[in-house]
Structure 1
Amino acid sequence: MTNMETERPRGWMSSFLRQFIIQGSWNYRSMLGSGFSYCMIPLLRKRGLSGQELDDAVRSHMGPFNAHPYLAGLALGAVARMEGSGMNAEKIEKFKRAIQGSLGGLGDLLIWGAWRPATLLLALVL
């Protein structure tokens, strides 16, 4: 088992809590990229990165990332697993580009197309 798998609770919990503010740094240049990299910091620290290595890893995740914010945690977990297994940065970036569209479309369909109308209907019935 890797270091990230054996020492889960603190880093994973910190990353999970940071996901609630992932949209806080949304901008037109990187969309959710800044928030995504902010969520990755505890996981990168768990991996043992510090100093310049940590700065470089955080910068690599600050690129454009445009998925549905409610489902961005799925990509975050997958990328954290890839980082923990030592996969190279090019493959991780390629994965993020590939999955962001699917998470965006699925999130819009589930949240705005199903969840929101269902909760509205429930509120009207009650």
Structure 2
Amino acid sequence: MATKAKITHADIMKCFWRYIFMSQCGWNYERMQSVGYCYSMLPVLKKMHPDPEDFKEAFITNLNFFNTNPVVGTPLIMGAHIALEEAGASYDTTEGLKVGLMGPLAGVGDTLVWALYNSIIFSIAAIMALNGNAMGPIMAMVLVFFPYMAIRYWQITWAYKEGTHLLTSIGSGAIGRITEFATIVGLIVIGGFAPSIVSLTTPLAYSQGAVINGETVTQTVTVQAQLDAILPYMLPVLATFLCYWLLKKKSWSPVKVILMLVVIGFIGGALGIFG
């Protein structure tokens, strides 16, 4: 049984810093992040389970399968787990918390962090770098390191304060609405970057002769100019849409799409279709 020891802010910070530096320690295909999670929780487990046999059981229990988003997910679960340990919750309760939250938070975290935030930040940084601006990669590192640290710290402290009320707090539907809104905004922003990231033009042109005042005049019209008159950056937008369609609707793998683009680009460049 857990003792009535009091968890301090210093104890939470010990878990936090262990998590920051060692969360992926011992990652494996069988139990994923369990080793790093268990190591991060050791300061609290040792304090709340002073009996050697009790600590051994807690240690082994926390080596069960664990996998969720390391930015938006693990700190939240860890904070609530610490609160439950302090309250003397059973192993079934703490494991139920982890199992019940790691799946949903993985979906939320992967969408907000990997699919949206990282895509926007690294797209902006890549554009700056392509334009010869050294601040591009520096900006990416700053906007990843500090926000990640801040959101992780907030999660573990907030979840600890919420404790057993955490499931009620995150089950109100607010996270789902935030995720949906962020997805829409993120896709709009990423779509707006397409013309800057994707460079695709055509040098094709057609000529037409006409007799004016008895003289034959040849007029050349470039296809690219006509496309820009209809819709600026039409080719980059179409190429981006094609890739999205193949990935989303046809379930192509990213590697297959990249190979297709290489082949089209090579053939189109050799035939003079693309510039």
Q: TM-score, normalised by structure 1?
A: 0.87
Q: Residue type matched to 2:93 in 1?
A: K
Higher normalized strand content (fraction of residues): 2
> Which residue of the partner structure matches residue 30 of structure 2?
29
Q: Which has the higher contact order (CA 8 A, sep 6+)?
A: 1
Task: List aligned pairs for 1:40-59, cutoff 5 A.
Answer: 40-47=41-48, 49-59=50-60
CA contact (8 A) 2:68 2:106 kept: yes
CA contact (8 A) 1:2 1:85 kept: no
CA contact (8 A) 2:5 2:86 kept: yes
> Which residue of the partner structure matches residue 119 of structure 2?
117
Q: Secondary structure at the match of 2:23?
A: helix
Task: List aligned pairs for 1:38-117, cutoff 5 A.
Answer: 38-47=39-48, 49-70=50-71, 71-117=73-119
Percent identical:
27
CA contact (8 A) 2:31 2:66 kept: yes
CA contact (8 A) 1:32 1:66 kept: yes
Q: Structure 1: 5+ residue runs without aligned partners?
A: none
Give the number of the structure whose alpha-carbon radius of gyration is greater.
2
CA contact (8 A) 1:67 1:100 kept: yes
Q: Structure 2: 5+ residue runs without aligned partners?
A: 129-135, 137-275
Q: Which moved more, 1:40-49 or 1:56-65?
A: 40-49
CA contact (8 A) 1:67 1:103 kept: yes
Counterpart CA distance in 1 for 2:25 and 2:5 is 31
After the TM superposition, which segments of 4 or more aligned residues of structure 1 sit over 6 Å from their partners?
Answer: none
TM-superposed CA distance for 1:112, in Å, is: 1.0
1:36-90 deviation line (CA, Å, top 9, x unaligned): 1111101122325252222211111110011112231111111111111011111
TM-superposed CA distance for 1:95, in Å, is: 1.6
Q: Secondary structure at the match of 2:25?
A: helix
Higher normalized helix content (fraction of residues): 1
> Which residue of the partner structure matches residue 15 of structure 1?
15
> Which residue of the partner structure matches residue 3 of structure 1?
6
C-alpha change, 1:48 and 1:8, in structure 2 (3 Å) is farther
Counterpart CA distance in 2 for 1:111 and 1:69 is 10
C-alpha change, 1:97 and 1:48, in structure 2 (3 Å) is closer
C-alpha change, 1:54 and 1:2, in structure 2 (3 Å) is closer
Q: Residue type matched to 1:46 in 2?
A: K
Q: TM-score, normalised by structure 2?
A: 0.42
